[in-house]
Amino acid sequence: MHGSHSTRRDSILTPTASIRMPRLTSGGTRDERVIAEECPVALVFDGTTMAVLMATPSDLTDLALGFSLTEGLIEDPGEIEELSVVPGVDGIELRTWLRPRAGRRLKDRRRQLVGPTGCGLCGIESLAEANRMHCTVVRQISLTPEQIRAAVERLSAAQVLNHATRATHAAGFFQPGHDGMILREDVGRHNALDKLAGALASQGLSGRTGAVILTSRISVEMVQKAAAIGAGIVVAVSAPTALAIRTAEASGLTLIGIARGSDFEIFSHLAGVRR
């Protein structure tokens, strides 16, 4: 990927991830609270808007790159020619220019529209796409119950924005044997996962080498996005939907939900957890 930039003017105009705002407590106290920011973010590819998200205005290049990968608009970060963060009065545009081959694929995809966009999924233009299945993932790791507990605890401890605001989701990448965790936060759970996908891609890390850890429920889109980056294990503090479980089973992905403390439930591909 070449030409990714945010100019000095962009950094001045781009909102911060949080802001202090006045409040009145139930006890009658007037003071301030740190509040998570959200704003419209348009994902623009080769001059055409593909989606408009309500997102936390941080890690926006990760968001654009991750969205491009998890929605199948590109197969590799090298297919992006230029990526710019462009703030405006009404929101922020993430302008992505693709190399010719990827640009042609995008045009062909848009020509296949069978009707107006309306199913409500980011970047999805038909009901058939909403039910898309990814290729089977190749899991390179398995986790012990202790590692699952440690991963969830590490995710919770690293949520700096949520600790301040109590209003954001997080997606983290846990690698057995590694300290720390790559983590991204956003008011939207899909956005947090896309930001994580972009962060991994920019660092040249494969999803196969670790597990995706989520603060949210596991919907089918979260499974699809995790599979798109090759992650073979997804762990979440909340439960999955039935379609998410079926999609994980079809993709070869180990799905672990309701992970709290030492307790968790495995919903697909038990081999991802070793006792």
So which residues are the catalytic ones?
119
The maximal CA–CA distance of the chain, rounded, in angstroms, is 61
Dihedral pair phi/psi, residue 17, rounded to 5°: -70, -20
The Cα 192–Cα 183 span in angstroms is: 8
Dihedrals phi, psi of 166, to nearest 5 degrees = 55, 40
Using CA atoms, how far apart are residues 230 and 136, in angstroms rounded to an integer?
9
Other Cβ atoms closer than 10 A to 249: 15
The helix (run of H) or strand (run of E) holding residue 226 is helix 220-228
* Ramachandran class of 108: left when φ > 0, alpha when ψ lies in -120 to 50, beta otherwise: alpha
| Three-state DSSP string of 50-61 | EEEEEECCCCHH
- The torsion angles phi and psi of 209, rounded to 5 degrees, stand at -85, 0
Q: At what angle do helices 189-202 and 60-70 cross, to 10 degrees?
A: 90
- d(C-alpha 35, C-alpha 37), whole Å: 6
Beta bridge partners of 19: 35
For β-strands 211-214 and 169-174, DSSP reports them as: antiparallel
SS3 content of the chain, % helix, strand, coil (to 5): 35, 30, 35
